[in-house]
Amino acid sequence: MSKSFVGLAIGSALGPIVAAILVLGQVGQTVIKLAMANSVSQTLSPEHSGAGMGLLSLMNFISGGIATGVYGKLIDLGADQHWNPLHLFGVGSLYSNLFLLLAVLHGVCWPSI
């Protein structure tokens, strides 16, 4: 997934490239969510699997809402600086900075993925 963030940080001004990277990233996220749901349902005992799956769904919902709020706030703040040296276009530096930050966070938090 960090490859998707790096690709978005570099080519955030190119519409079709961004669309393709987002599609690939979304497919990867869906596969991870399915694997996680399967793991949770197989790990818990049958009497606890309903509560465990509900908790998993709740955490996915809450984390999606928090992430959307944080990304929206970062976009509202604007970008006066151009952090990404590989982003060669004048437009889209705000999104380039955001995706570069996500790529760095992903590499720091999950270096083996």
pLDDT in tens, 44-102: 998 998 999 999 999 999 998 998 898 888 888 776 777 777 777 767 778 888 888 88
Query: Residue 8 burial by CB count (10 A; 0-12/13-18/19+): exposed, middle or buried?
Result: buried
Q: What is the arithmetic mean of pLDDT over 37-43? A: 92
How far apart, in whole angstroms, are the C-alpha atoms of residue 34 and residue 40?
10
**pLDDT value of position 14:** 66
In angstroms, the first-to-last Cα distance of the chain is 8
Domain that holds residue 99: 2-109
**pLDDT value of position 55:** 94
Number of structural domains, the chain?
Answer: 1
**pLDDT value of position 10:** 64
Sign for the CA dihedral angle at 104, 101, 68, 25 comes to negative
Instruction: Convert 11-35 to b/e letters by CB count within 10 Å (16 or more is b).
Output: bbbeeeebeebeeebeeeeeeeeee
State pTM to two decimals: 0.62
